[in-house]
């Protein structure tokens, strides 16, 4: 098994304690940082995404894989040249005001990062105004919002309305998710719905290409 395959398996198996050494080993062997990223780390994350979609991996395992990816990137990032990383797009993410649920959103963020998106995670309990201001500041391709409580769907609705009222943010593509969300609610708001983290990646890719 070559070192790139080992790195991909580290990601897949969540080998947080192993990956930094293996990435350094690949660098010491003269393998280009971009090759390590594309053919090792991202290859592993792609398999994670596929297995999660098929129900072969579950949230805790995906979180471990994402953390392993982060550990590897700590070693790799200083060696990457500008232009080595092809950015799929930029996304501002937030759990809306009144809602403190974070696990689902974190998982979506990690999967999107693995797919090459630059993520600006605003955290939880984020007001409509703070989300709008972040969209103005970061000028993302997409703004993603999560709500896990039926009561906080109203806050999500208010945020979408505020974004659409402002000339600077009205054309930003919006995707939503969370237990009380569904395709009909999203359509009513003027947003796009994703059922889970894997669907969120597919949706984000399609929205950027649209």
Answer yes or no: do 44 and 105 share one domain: no
Residues 94 and 161 in one domain: yes
Q: What is the C-alpha separation between 121 and 106, in angstroms, rounded? A: 8
Q: What is the pLDDT of residue 84?
A: 77
Whole-number pLDDT of residue 102: 87
Helix and strand totals (H; E) in the chain = 10, 5
CB-based contact 41:35 (threshold 8 Å): no
Predicted local confidence at residue 149, as pLDDT: 92
Is 30 among the domain residues? yes
144 pLDDT higher than 80: yes
Residues 204 and 128 in one domain: yes
Mean pLDDT in residue range 162-189: 95
DSSP per position, 140-191: -SEEEEE--SGGGHHHHHHHHHHHHHSTTTTTSEEEEESTT--HHHHHHHT-
pLDDT at 63 over 90: no
In a domain, 167, yes or no: yes
Mean pLDDT of 44-73: 89
Q: Are residues 14 and 118 in the same domain?
A: no
Q: What is the pLDDT of residue 140?
A: 97
Domain count, the chain: 2
| 84 located within any domain | no
The last residue of a domain, from among 79, 104, 130? 79
Rounded to 5 degrees, φ, ψ at 105 are -65, -40
Burial (CB count <10 Å: 0-12, 13-18, 19+), residue 87: exposed
């Amino acid at each position: 098994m070559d070192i790139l395959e080992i790195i991909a398996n580290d990601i897949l198996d969540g080998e947080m304690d192993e990956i930094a050494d293996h990435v350094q080993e690949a660098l010491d062997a003269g393998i280009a940082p971009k090759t390590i990223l594309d053919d090792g780390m991202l290859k592993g994350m792609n398999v994670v995404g596929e297995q999660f979609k098929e129900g072969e991996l579950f949230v805790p395992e995906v979180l471990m894989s994402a953390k392993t990816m982060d550990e590897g990137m700590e070693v790799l990032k200083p060696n990457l040249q500008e232009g080595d990383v092809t950015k799929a797009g930029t996304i501002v993410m937030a759990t809306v005001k009144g809602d403190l649920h974070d696990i689902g959103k974190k998982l979506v963020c990690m999967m999107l990062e693995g797919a090459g998106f630059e993520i600006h995670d605003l955290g939880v309990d984020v007001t409509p105004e703070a989300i709008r201001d972040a969209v103005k500041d970061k000028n993302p391709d997409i703004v993603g919002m999560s709500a896990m409580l039926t009561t906080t769907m109203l806050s999500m609705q208010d945020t979408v309305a505020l974004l659409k009222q402002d000339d600077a943010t009205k054309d930003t593509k919006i995707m939503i998710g969370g237990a009380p969300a569904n395709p009909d609610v999203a359509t009513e708001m003027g947003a796009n719905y994703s059922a889970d983290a894997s669907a969120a990646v597919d949706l984000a890719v399609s929205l950027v290409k649209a």
